[in-house]
Amino acid sequence: MLSSTISRCVNPIPLLSRSQFVLFPTSYIHSQTPKPHSNPYNFDQETVHNTLSSYANDWNRAFEFFNWVETDHQFNHTTETYNRMIDILGKFFEFDQSWNLIHRMKQNPISLPNHATFRIMFKRYVNAHLVNEAVDTFNRLGEFNLRDETSYCNLVDSLCEYKHVIEAQDLCFGENKIVGFNNNNTKIYNMILRGWFKMGWWAKCREFWGEMDKRGVVKDLHSYSIYMDIVCKSGKPWKAVKLFKEVKKKGIEMDVVALFDRMIESGIRPKMDTYVMLLRKFERWGFLRPIFVVWKKMEELGCSPDEFAYNALIDALIQKGMLDMAKKYDDEMLAKGLSPRPRAELGTKLVKGED
């Protein structure tokens, strides 16, 4: 049976999860009324989903396969396979076809539209700069029992993701505010703050950060992470350290190593004064691991440590009782012609009473 099928097929589609092919017959492409027959492949959701994904850049072929597997092989599409097809159609602005599928979804209890369905629609509309259509879609969600807080957040997040932050802020706080939802929560503010960050509007970022305080919005770890990205990307890495201190005072856990990596990834190349400041800050807070991260990164970026950097590292090691390692770096300083600070712990400073 398989060999006869192969002879009637073109462009076999490689499956991503299996070592076989879904063979898509030409007879279906040209036939107006294809005849159903038994399914020799036992298609499952993962197989169909992956095959659709292989046609992500050709919506016509994807849609032909989508209908073929249902009509010729009696595959019952699930919400997930419908959503994948809708996403592909939206990528090519085939919104009428997308809505046709959404209405088909309602006819089967295993394929009802869900929040992910309309998140895709929001994303595709906004990416096409069809903001009004995205808002209209949200307003239609009552007929699907999905006009709720989750869909509202998905709409705002889609607007911010694709740099329509002005419209998002207007829907949340402006004249066109969507009523019935809590806009004064941290999640909404974080989305808009991240939106301004994606646009690179640093002054607007700072303004909105201040508004959060004025309006009494509770800033969480995500808020601070976004704003640390903002200050690093805008060329003010020292402010990220100040923010970290604020986070620490509030008792919010944050990975200081991730903070420093974020600074470097944002394109910041700290000067030696900045490295020394970071080393001193981490020493004062009792953090040894990030000190070595900073030290390693400093060397990787071709910045040779000076005597201030060495002394900061040695002080941190002594504070943790790691005298052997501290002595190693003390000797390294001398070998480089730098001047280590005299320290009684390392025997390099005369103790009172000694000759």
Per the prediction, the chain carries an average pLDDT of: 84
The string of DSSP codes covering 96-113 is HHHHHHHHHHTTSGGG--
Q: What is the pLDDT of residues 6-34, one digit of tens each?
A: 233 334 444 444 334 455 554 444 444 44
Cα-based angle 140, 145, 147 (whole degrees, multiple of 5):
55
In this prediction, residue 40 carries a pLDDT of: 55
Residue 250 bridge partners (DSSP) = none
- Between CA 294 and CA 236 the distance in angstroms is 17
Where along the chain do its domains lie?
A: 184-268, 270-349
Return the structure tokens found at 278. Answer: 């970071």
Q: What is the pLDDT of residues 175-192, one digit of tens each?
A: 999 989 988 899 999 999
- Predicted TM-score (pTM) of the model is 0.70
Residue 85 vs residue 9, higher pLDDT: 85
- Between CA 29 and CA 34 the distance in angstroms is 9
Residue type present at position 162: Y
In this prediction, residue 128 carries a pLDDT of: 97
